[in-house]
Amino acid sequence: MTTKQDDMNYILENITAKRFGEIEDELSAIPNWLAHLNTPLSEEQRAVMTAQLKDKFSEILDILKIDKHDPNVKSTPMRIASMWVNEWMIGRYQNEPRIEAFPNAEYSETVGEIVSKKCKVQSLCSHHFASFFTNSVNPSSYCTITYVATGEYLGISKITRIVDYYARRPQLQESLSRMVRKHLVKIIGSENVMVSMNDLIHTCEYTRGASDQEASTSTLTYGGVFNDPAVRAQYIK
C-alpha cells in the first residue's frame, strides 16, 4: 500500500530538472490567498510544493539544533511536508467534490421531509496550525448536517466528502461550519440547511496554553426553516 509521501516521491523522481524549475515558476506566479480558501493545483505542482516545504522544514530542524542524521528524524522533513500539503491541507489544492442528487419521487409541496446526517470532522486551526476534530470516544462529539429535502435527495456519502473537503485546510471551526452550509445551500437551492458541530477537541487548547483536557467547542449555523427555534430544537440534541 503506497502512501501520499510515496506518491509525491514517485512524481518528483520522474520530473526533469527543467520541468521542476518551470513548476516552481508556476507556483511563484500564484498569489497567496486566505488560509481557508483554495486554488486547485496539479499533482506535479503539489509534488514540487511538497519538495519546497521539505527543504524549509529541514531548515527548521537546523534552527532547533536537531541532528538530521538521527534515524528517527532523517525523513521527518518530507513526512511533515507531505502531511501538510497532501493530507491536512489537501482541500486547498483540489476541486470541490461532485455531489450527486437523487430524485425524490414522493416529494410534495405540502409535505416537508428533513434529512439529518452525522459525520466526523478533522481540521486544522489557523491560529496555531494544530488539529481540531470530533472525538470518537465521546458520543456527543460529531458533525450533523440537516436539510429539507424537496425535489431531490443528496447522496449521503457525498455530504461526508463535502465536510471533509472543507475541513482539509487551516481555518476556524466557525468558518468551517459556514463554508459547509454555504456549499450545501448552493447545491439544494434552498436556505433550509443547518450545520451543527458538537464538542470538537482543539489540540491548541488541549495540549498548550490553558492545557484544558476537558474543553470542547460547538458551533451551529442555520437558515430557512431552522430560524424557527421550535424546528431547530427538534434536531439539536
| Closest CA relative to residue 50, chosen from 77, 9, 85, 20 | 85
Angle among Cα 72, 77, 82 to the nearest 5 degrees reads 115
Residue 161: burial class (beta carbons within 10 Å; 0-12, 13-18, 19+): middle
Give pLDDT tens digits along the chain (237 positions).
Answer: 667 777 888 888 888 899 999 999 999 999 998 888 888 999 999 999 999 999 999 999 999 999 999 999 999 999 999 999 999 999 999 998 888 777 776 655 545 578 888 999 999 999 999 999 999 889 899 999 999 887 777 888 889 999 999 999 999 999 999 999 999 998 888 899 999 999 999 999 989 888 888 889 999 999 999 999 999 988 876
Rounded distance between C-alpha atoms, residue 37 and residue 171, angstroms: 9
Specify whether the CB–CB gap between 222 and 186 falls below 8 A: no
How far is CA 71 from its chain centroid?
32
Structural domains of the chain, with CATH: 4-93 (1.10.286.10), 101-233 (3.30.1130.10)
